[in-house]
Structure 1
Amino acid sequence: MKPVEPVGIAAAALWLPESRATVSDAVADGRLRTRQAKDLGHPDVPSAQAETAPGLAVSAAREALRAAGAEAKDLDLCVHAWMYYQGHDLWSPPHYVAQELGAHQAMPVGIQQVCNGGAAAVELTVARMTADASHSDGGYRWGMVTTGDRFTEPGFDRWASDYGVVYGDAGTAVLLRTPAAPTDVLTLRSIVTMAAPELESMHRGADPFAAAARTHRPRVDMRATKRVYLHEHGHEQFVRANERAIRTIVAEALHDAGMEPRDPRLRHAVLPRFGLKTLQEFWLPILADCVSAEPLDYGRATGHLGAGDAAAGLADLVRSRALRPGEAALVFSAGAGFTWSCLVVQAPDC
């Protein structure tokens, strides 16, 4: 998708709790083998103690508003995405985020697309903002995209609930405005998403539909459902779909952004925050064949942030000043379903 009018990223924030969960403790507790820990490549990940999942999102959003010099009262949309439990059984986290921010004029919307939720939220927010012509006075339209996840026991084991991924706790926020302004830290040039619904059973396995959460097992166990899928289908269906999706979203996102795969402006490719072996086997070889951009793996220090990988990638791009004026980056996200997204963002010329 190429935005029909310029969309600016006024700010992007990553909010991490101070506490950390260490891989050495996970190995000592028997939740990981030493070889698995090496394949993951995370010495430790953020682990929220007193903070709530939507509270982490609120903290990130406040930081984004502060960095942009913007006010919550001006937000038109407040879109929140999440992967895991938000603290109440039947409740609307996006309305809580809006209330806590003081965004009383905003429309709160929730996105549940598992790990790709943050990227989906950005795409849908941009589509809504650029389609809405109600601001005829020449002012900005503002959209806040947040994510917040906290992967806690007893229902979730951040180290052992999945293969090739460790889950870290964090809040993220991306403050969007249209039309873009010269002070925006990045411009969103394009965003493309592709899905492979034939892979949905990787997270369903042979389990019957249940009447309540965690009916079949005391904790979330994606390893169990994936074992069933792999026993029935093998690895090849996923491997082919993953490569096809990555190649497609890169090609289409660059086309929509008016760039070529070897464009000299294309500086970096920000990877999803998966385990090291997963990136080395299923991402890096494909990207090396698609683009000349240098990979950036910000996930060693955080682990996978549920719905927040893409937003965290934007925040780290800005924080680290990885892009010189006029340079661009690809920012990736992927998640169960399966769905893959690629954003093309560009630093201002000066």
Structure 2
Amino acid sequence: MKWNELYVESVASDIPLPVSTREAVERGWYSNQQRRASDMISVACAEPEDLPVDMAVRAAHRALSRRKDHAPPVQALLYANVNYQGMNYFCPASYIQERTLGRGELIVAEIRQMSNGAMIAMGLACAYLEKCIAPSSALIATGDNFAPKSFDRWNSDTRGLMGDGATAMVLSNRPGPFRVIATESYADGSLEGMQRGSDRLSMEPETGPPPLLRRKQQYLAEVGLVETQRRLSRGLQRAFRNLLSQLDQDSSEFSLIICSNLSQSAVESMFLQPVGFSIDQTMWSAGRTVGHLGAGDHFWGLEQAVESDRVRPGDLILLLGAGAGATWTLTAIRYCYDPKWF
């Protein structure tokens, strides 16, 4: 879908201090072989008691403070997350609303679609803002703490390591430093079993970290590695082809690709090779210092790109979202001017 006058007003993050993967090996949390496979230098690790919603509140405040004076009112708040949020049967998005925006006439919702959650939220927010006649904005936040009792950070995925932290983005139908040009999504539910394996669904609540690696191996044993890779490539290629049809430029015009912070081999095989990009066009070298931030990699990557002068006004940027299920959401944005947040 091509958007008319929609913009990113600001992005921000709240990332805890990293723990080096060498230290993790020395402490016996995982092996040196796993360390080499993950390609991570360090991983952002919050304290076990740090609530992801509180990190999200801090990131949201930071993003809101970076907007221009007299910015449009926030009409929607969407919160994307992956892991346990601190309690069953409470509303994380409303918790964040109360501590950032307060009461008001706005839509508040939580989105749980794994690593693609924030990109899906961005697409939904754009669709909402496109219909708003008055000046309006939307706040999107992400937050996760992959604490030991809820997730085995070091042994759950051979493609990378989950990092803790929160991010936020403010979108608006009034001019901002990034223009949102187009968004396209694709979904292939036949890949849903990769997170479920051969385990039967049950009304008995799970306890302890989920056995994600075992479930993935069960799925691959049934479907096959080659067929799984074919489905993954096909979904991304379909979304990318549809996105290019909305643009006046071809793929060579993209100056930067921002995708999930996984190992180099995973980033190349899952995100780059199917659509013809290289690792040098990404934020991977920065991402390998914090890990895979759940749904927050894209907002964090955009903030880092501005802060490190990786992008210049006029650059075309691809936010390449992909998540379990499987779903893909791709958004093209144009860097208009330096927001001078730093």
What TM-score results when the alignment is normalised by the length of structure 2?
A: 0.91
Q: What are the superposed Cα offsets for residues 85-107 of structure 1, whole Å, 9 maximum, x if unpaired?
A: 11111011010111000342232
Structure 2, unmatched stretches of 5+, are: none
Aligned runs of 1:318-333 on 2, under 5 Å? 318-333=306-321
Shift of 1:239: 0.7
Match of 1:38 among 27, 36, 39: 36
1:1-350 superposed matches below 5 A:
1-3=1-3, 5-18=4-17, 20-49=18-47, 50-69=49-68, 74-105=73-104, 106-133=106-133, 135=134, 140-178=135-173, 180-181=174-175, 184-215=176-207, 218-263=208-253, 266-287=254-275, 289=276, 294-297=281-284, 298-348=286-336
Q: Which runs of 5+ in 1 are unaligned?
A: none
Q: Work out the CA distance in 2 between the residues paired with 1:213 and 1:21.
A: 31
SS of 2:205's equivalent in the other structure is coil
Q: Is the 8 A contact 2:220 2:228 kept in 1?
A: no
Corresponding residue pairs, total: 335
Closer/same/farther in 2, CA of residues 325 and 296 from structure 1, 3 Å limit? same
1:88 counterpart SS class: coil
- Letter aligned with residue 192 of structure 2: E
Give the conservation status (yes or no) of the 8 Å contact 2:236–2:328: yes
- For 1:146, the aligned partner's letter is A
Alpha-carbon spacing, 1:69–1:52, altered in 2? closer, same or farther (3 Å): farther
**What amino acid sits opposite 1:176 in the alignment?**
L
Q: Deviations over 1:208-238 (max 9, x none)?
A: 21224325xx312210110110111111222
CA distance in 1, matches of 2:257, 2:147: 30
Shift of 1:291: 8.6
- 8 A contact 1:247–1:290 mirrored in 2: no
Is the 2:159–2:266 contact (alpha carbons within 8 Å) kept by the matching residues of 1?
Answer: yes
Q: In the aligned structure 2, how far is the partner of 1:222 from the partner of 1:62?
A: 34
Identity within the alignment, %: 25
- Inter-partner Cα distance in structure 1 for 2:71 and 2:93: 14
How far does residue 22 in structure 1 lie from its aligned partner after superposition?
2.9
Runs of 4+ with deviation above 4 angstroms: 70-73, 290-293
The alpha-carbon deviation at position 161 of structure 1 amounts to 1.7
Amino acid at match of 1:335: G
Mapped to 2, the partners of 1:152 and 1:293 lie a distance apart of 32
How many angstroms does 1:69 deviate by? 3.7
Is contact 1:73–1:104 with CA below 8 Å preserved after alignment? no
Rate the CA distance shift 1:302–1:70 in 2: closer, same or farther, 3 A: farther
After superposition, the C-alpha distances for 1:88-138 in whole angstroms (9 at most, x for unaligned) are 1101101011100034223211111111101011011111121234x3xxx
- Partners of 1:292 and 1:329 in 2: how far apart? 14
CA distance in structure 2 between the aligned counterparts of 1:254 and 1:21, rounded to whole angstroms: 39
* Code of the aligned partner of 1:334: A
- SS at 2:148 equivalent: coil
Checking the alignment, whether the CA contact within 8 Å between 1:73 and 1:102 is kept in structure 2 is no
Q: How well do the aligned residues superpose, as a CA RMSD in angstroms?
A: 2.2
Which residue identity does 1:21 align to in structure 2? Answer: V
